[in-house]
Amino acid sequence: MSATPEFFDALETRDPSERESALMAALPRQIAHAQAHAPAFAQLLEGIEAQAITSRAALARLPVVRKHELLERQKAQRDKDVFGGFSAIGWRGAAARAGARRVFQSPGPIYEPEGQAADYWRMGRALFAAGFRPGDLAHCSFSYHLTPAGSMMETGAHAVGCTVFAGGVGNTELQLQAMAELRPQGYIGTPSFLKILLDKAQETGVSLPSLRKALVSGEAFPPSLRDHLRGRGIEGYQCYATADLGLIAYETPAREGLVLDESVIVEIVRPGTGDPVPEGEVGEVVVTTLNPDYPLIRFGTGDLSAVMPGRCPTGRTNTRIRGWMGRADQTTKVRGMFVHPSQVAEIARRHPELGRVRLVVEGEMAQDRMRLSAECGQPAQGLAERVADSIREITKLRGEVELVAPGSLPNDGKVIEDARRYD
């Protein structure tokens, strides 16, 4: 890592066209690598000419792989490949591939490999933006067992040049004692546990004068909690990362959204589809990672976000997103039958004159009803009836249709809204 006083490395301030050219040059190589070394992608991308995927438009034609599919493939292949064919590394007996330094288990269970590369999860960039510097002691309270969060953050801190106290989860009194005696400059962990530690310190009269910065993740970090930490003398920043992909985006001192990591290609797609939405519209975050060890191509995170216009005032030139805005999988059950976002997308696809659509489920349980609100500028005669026929054909349920003016529906990424009363 070669840092300037302001940036983790020179990649952060590249001309956007230079960055895009580099990403698009790396994309076909990564796809070819995935086809050759990850059996799941050899099957999913069968017949795809990797060298032809040199643009975002070409990338958007490839299938989106969502977490439920990854889990299903892992479960189906437990006896021969615990990674379900998605990993290019493993160990002796794990599909005869070597190279994994560690393996982790997330709820599902889903297994994730960790390779040999320094800062494998690329968390150093986020820590640097949060103010961590060489020589700092970082108190890490993320889990060091089963899930990868502790390793993700520790290897990133090492990339910055920090010393790490491996606090792990729980043991509040012991962790607080360590903070008081070791005097760390920074905290890494969930924001809620940091608040617990600070409240306990105040309650017991423990002073933590050295603690001045924090990188938090794993849960929501509302402005109220950020301001509460600031009142205690700690500047807290958040990052967006997953166990499958590592770092996706990170907050900077500008406090204007999250800047994308340099080693991922991020798309925002309409929930239930693989179709990119216009810039600024809320949709599902889909990520293609350039990690050769775990080469996930168009991996659907299931999270909602949106691209922000303009550049970060700090001088970082990569795209910014608005951060976590909810979950994209809005599947719900209506009168005993599941209705999926992909079905709502198919209804809209059959009627291209429609704009943004939202299926609202109303009423009380066992007496629920569906209403599709759809934006349309100049509806043709009988359009509502034809859309209602498509609802019945695709979902096997009856639904009302409400045609509304363009721009009437909120830009929040919701395609299914459950407005039923459960009391």
Query: What average pLDDT does this structure show over 11-27?
Result: 98
Say how far apart CA 230 and CA 249 lie, in whole Å: 22
- Report pLDDT for 374: 95
pLDDT classification of 330: cutoffs 50, 70, 90: confident
**353-402 residue pLDDT tens:** 999 999 999 886 557 889 999 999 989 999 999 999 999 999 989 999 99
- Report pLDDT for 173: 94
Q: Hunting for tokens 């191509």 — which residue is that?
A: 297
Q: Look at residue 96 and tell me whether its pLDDT is greater than 70.
A: no
Q: Look at residue 317 and tell me whether its pLDDT is greater than 60.
A: yes
Q: Look at residue 95 and tell me whether its pLDDT is greater than 60.
A: yes
Percent of the chain residues past pLDDT 70, beyond the cut: 97
Q: Contact at 8 Å (CB) between 322 and 308?
A: yes
**218-261 residue pLDDT tens:** 888 999 999 999 999 999 999 999 999 999 999 999 999 999 99
pLDDT classification of 307: cutoffs 50, 70, 90: very high
**275-304 residue pLDDT tens:** 999 999 999 999 999 999 999 999 999 899
Q: Look at residue 6 and tell me whether its pLDDT is greater than 50.
A: yes
Q: Look at residue 106 and tell me whether its pLDDT is greater than 50.
A: yes
- Amino acid identity for residue 128 in this structure: F
pLDDT classification of 334: cutoffs 50, 70, 90: confident
pLDDT classification of 2: cutoffs 50, 70, 90: very low
Largest CA distance in the chain: 76
pTM recorded for the entire structure: 0.86
The CATH code that applies to domain 332-418 is 3.30.300.30
Phi, psi of 101 (to 5 degrees): -85, -40
Say how far apart CA 109 and CA 141 lie, in whole Å: 22
- Report pLDDT for 365: 52
- Report pLDDT for 3: 47
- Report pLDDT for 366: 54
- Report pLDDT for 340: 86
Say how far apart CA 353 and CA 386 lie, in whole Å: 12
Query: Of residues 271 and 319, which shows the higher confidence score?
Result: 319
Query: What average pLDDT does this structure show over 172-184?
Result: 96
Q: Look at residue 5 and tell me whether its pLDDT is greater than 50.
A: yes
Q: Look at residue 158 and tell me whether its pLDDT is greater than 90.
A: yes
- Report pLDDT for 404: 95
Q: Look at residue 418 and tell me whether its pLDDT is greater than 60.
A: yes
